Chains A and B, each alone.
Chain A
Amino acid sequence: MPPDSPPAAVPKPDISAPVPSSQPGLLELFLAFAKMSLAGFGGVLGWARRAIVDQHRWMTAEEFNETFALCHFLPGPNIVNLSFVFGSRFGGLAGGLAAFAGLLGPPMLITTILASLYSRYGEIDALRRILAGVSCAAVGFFIAVVLRMMMPLIKKRDVVGMIILIAVFVAIGLLRLPLPAVLLVGIPLSLAITYSMRRRVPA
């Protein structure tokens, strides 16, 4: 390995970390994230992986998974977090902001236009009926996503995980308790249980 690797924002202790094939500039970051965001229908993640790993080769699949895992366990919209972390890796804070603005800016403007159309025409009967139909289907799609996420827990027969899952579902979905209160109890509890189980069964 030549010692002249570029000063990345995140120093990687990993020796085999490949130097990315090209260093994206700020404009390139902005455009790439704007593109994947506008293409991303029903979730941007798949498009982001395709653009970053397959198309531009800015990251290997493992690096992408690691970065995404980090952004997934931190709070907030995952893919937005990912854009900022990814961008900052190449261009520091400015790079993070460029990717963040690319991901969020164009779709935010589109959604704002749709919102203004809705506030003007939302009471028109035909539109009301169409939106009602779309939201029924969208909820169905959403339920399928939740089921897909649940499958690994069921396959692993993770009883503790399922109990925590159901408890959160009841507290938030049925009892409608405030989210911060539920999480301030749930997170420490779940962490303690997971930690103690991992100690007992070294996997």
Chain B
Amino acid sequence: MNEPANPIATLIWTFGLMSLFAVGGANSAIPEMHRVAVDVHHWITDKQFADAFAISQLSPGPNVLIVTLIGYSVAGFFGAIAATLAMCGPTAVLAYYVSRLLGRSSHSRWPAIIQAALVPLSVGLMGASALILALSSDGSWMAALVTVCAAVLAFATRLNPFWMLAAGGLLGFAGVI
């Protein structure tokens, strides 16, 4: 770590700020997480980023936990906690105050307009997340094929995603990917 500042402080500042731009949820911020953690700070490699995504999908809980893994790789246990709370705390407090405010004047049509305006932005961000994750994960044609099959299966059926992840892990273990 050749950061001059305290790494925990850097984590808090980085993810606290990032959370305010996570329009539509934590997954929208994946490209920014990748840019910051891999390209700017060199905290982790591209491959480790893909692994962090895989582990965060394997573990229970909200998707935001990829931040916990990035935090851990920077500053261990306290890094994990600090990064997670920085990503989740400020926006939760913001949501609390906005919900109280809106509760008093709930017939405004602004919430609907804001929401309609933010949906395409947030889906575009998610699409960019998908692209960046695919570039990090799919190093071979077989890997790309597995991704495409999983995408088609998940889109067309209501299959529990756990089985897809398990099948992917099995194929990886067998050395197919």
Contacts and interface: CB of A to CB of B under 8 A. Distances in A.
Interface string A184-197: 00110011011100
B146 interface: yes
Interface string B79-102: 011001001101111111011101
Interface string B89-127: 011111110111011101100010111111111111111
Contacts of A162: 120
Interface string A152-166: 010000101110111
Interface residues of B, number: 111
Nearest to A93: B96
A150 B123 contact: yes
B176 to A, nearest CB: 8
Contacts of A191: 113-114, 117
Contact of A111 (B55, B93, B170): B55
Chain A at the B interface: SS class: helix
Contact of B25 (A78, A138, A150, A158): A78
A44 interface: yes
B59 A85 contact: no
A69 B98 CA distance: 12
B128 interface: yes
B61 A141 contact: no
28 contacts: A9-B100, A44-B62, A69-B111, A75-B20, A79-B62, A84-B93, A96-B96, A107-B60, A108-B84, A111-B68, A114-B55, A115-B73, A129-B177, A130-B172, A136-B150, A139-B138, A140-B146, A140-B154, A142-B129, A142-B130, A144-B151, A169-B127, A169-B128, A172-B124, A187-B121, A193-B117, A194-B113, A198-B113
B165 A40 contact: no
Contact of A140 (B136, B153, B170): B153
Given A104-B62, A176-B35, 15 more contacts: A10-B99, A11-B103, A73-B118, A84-B96, A106-B61, A130-B169, A136-B138, A137-B167, A139-B134, A140-B148, A142-B133, A143-B134, A146-B129, A168-B127, A194-B113
Interface in A91-118: 93, 96, 100, 103-104, 106-108, 110-112, 114-116, 118
A174 B48 CA distance: 21
B130 A146 contact: yes
Given A130-B172, A133-B146, A191-B117, A77 B88 contact: yes
A136 B130 CA distance: 11
Interface string A1-32: 00000000111111000000000000000000
Nearest to A193: B117
Chain B at the A interface: SS class: helix
B174 to A, nearest CB: 8
Interface of B: 17-27, 29, 31-32, 35, 39, 48, 50-51, 53-65, 68-69, 72-73, 77, 80-81, 84, 87-88, 90-96, 98-100, 102-104, 106-107, 111, 113-134, 136-139, 143-144, 146-155, 160-162, 164-165, 167-173, 175-177
B59 A132 contact: no
Interface of A: 9-14, 37-44, 67, 69-85, 88-89, 93, 96, 100, 103-104, 106-108, 110-112, 114-116, 118-119, 122, 126, 129-150, 153, 158, 160-162, 164-169, 172-174, 176, 178-180, 183, 186-187, 190-191, 193-195, 198
A135 B46 CA distance: 12
Given A75-B19, A119-B72, A143-B151, A133 B92 contact: no
